[in-house]
Structure 1
Amino acid sequence: MDLSILSKENRNNFINSNKSFIKKIITEMQKDKSKEISEEDLSIGIFAFNNACNSYVDSMGNFFNYSKVIIKNHVLEYLWKISNTPRLYFSNDTPEAFTEVTEVEKKAENKIYAKEVLILNKILKPYNLTYISIIKNCSYNKKIKDDILNIAFLCSREVFILNLMEEEKDIPIQKVALLTKYKVEFIERWKNYILALIIIFSNKDLLYLKAYLNINIGDKK
């Protein structure tokens, strides 16, 4: 990719020529794909796309895949900060490929993903967990997975939950149940998967893992 198109001199033209790309990513994240993109949503996407232009280097793989990761993370970060968050869902749709990826770019992206898995495994080690062990024991039930997703997202915003996890090397089940209004038995059954998602949501070094969760945004709870 010619990096000169990302320069500040060319930036406005480059962003304007890729607004449809930005809108597609925002639409992809919505549970209701027919919902019209609001000006606020578009501005969030444009801001993130501009950040991608500022931070991109060739070793990050395909630019548009990288910018997609940045936009998705920025949208989730925005939701993470607001008080009245919508319900989140794991999407069953295969993410659309917006551009052709070369073998070199694919290897670069796989390298970043593998690096993030190593980071996650390092964090999970004191909890006697691994990324693979959690995936193998995850529920296949869509409703359960979506409930776990929302529990983890809510807990990832609470400093007292994060501090207790760090101190106890476990999820404070009673407090999570009280915070999320889910039964203690449910939290206990799925605590390892909840814990892993909390870590992914709250760690700024796990951008690709967060984007690869393929999350849809629904209506306000």
Structure 2
Amino acid sequence: MQTMTKANMPTLTLEDRIMLIQNGDETLRNKIIHIYQPFIKKVISKVCNRFIDHSMDEFSIGLFAFNEAINQYKTGQGSKFLTFADMVIRRRIIDFIRKEARQSKNIYLDQAEIEDDSQQDESYLEQKAALEYFEEKQQIEERIEQIEAYKVLLKQYGISFKSLSKHCPKHIDARENAKVIANILVSNEQLSQYLQEKKQLPIKELLQFVSCSRKTIERNRKYIIALSLIYLGQFHALQPYVEPESL
């Protein structure tokens, strides 16, 4: 029997295959996980900054995280599956590193009668500082990746970063009001579906849920769409920048 590889799999996108798996194709799930093991190891190795093989705990965690990404991925969220899987794997590995750091601290404390307390504290502080540096670096990388994916998604709606900067409301109250409108839109399944299918803002329908005028919504149309896409695309690294103060 011929081995299934990326080259001879049916001409479906990876995202199409993920949908088939979510609909119950467990055989395809196993094939996809097997094929993308090199990808999983690459992500883990980048996070841990060292070589990872199949015998390590980190690799097992990466496999579980990749499978988790398969289950949680949603089409239309603005990013490709591998970008989303990369993010899930990174988070699970970081959680593992944190857990290991806490356990290491306990081990140092248990050896208090053997080792000098100051050496234990120094070792733990070095670990803590290294972990904080690592997490900050990962957050920056994740933010850059999501900005690129967000830029691609905005283009589908005829919006560029340059045009968005021009249409950003100048007054704080107007910006906060636009953020509230975006939250209302993404919280309503029919409104968010309309936006994603028509690539237009459902202004008439929105007027039933907001107190501002049609003119106000139309004036800030691009800004509201851009904010809504941050939530709909699950760009978690960008959301802190658009959370309305009134929520």
TM-score, normalised via structure 2 length: 0.45
Q: Which has the higher helix share?
A: 2
RCO comparison, higher one (Cα < 8 Å, 6+): 1
Q: Which has the higher strand share?
A: 1
Give 1 or 2 for the bigger CA radius of gyration.
2
